[in-house]
Amino acid sequence: MSRKPVLSYTKIGDIVDGRFNDFVGDITEFESAIGALVLGQKMGWKVLLLIHDRRTIQKYGKILGIDFREVMPEVGEKAQKSVAWKAVQEIGNFWKAVKGEIKGIKTPELARVK
Does residue 25 lie within any of the structural domains? yes
Q: How confident is the model at residue 37 (pLDDT cuts 50, 70, 90)?
A: very high
Each residue's pLDDT tens digit, 88-108 = 999 888 999 999 898 889 999
51 vs 105: CA distance, rounded Å? 9
pTM: 0.89
Which residues, at least 6 apart from 76, have a Cβ–Cβ distance to it below 8 Å? 6, 40, 41, 42, 43, 44, 47
Give me the domain span that covers residue 29.
9-78
68 vs 91: CA distance, rounded Å? 25
Each residue's pLDDT tens digit, 75-91 = 999 999 999 999 999 98
Best CA proximity match to 75, nearest among 38, 114, 43: 43
The total number of residues written for the chain in this structure: 114
pLDDT for 32 equals 97
Does residue 108 lie within any of the structural domains? no
Domain count across the chain: 1
Does residue 112 lie within any of the structural domains? no
Does residue 48 lie within any of the structural domains? yes
Does residue 49 lie within any of the structural domains? yes
Does residue 58 lie within any of the structural domains? yes
Does residue 55 lie within any of the structural domains? yes
Mean pLDDT of 20-31: 95
pLDDT for 3 equals 59
Does residue 44 lie within any of the structural domains? yes
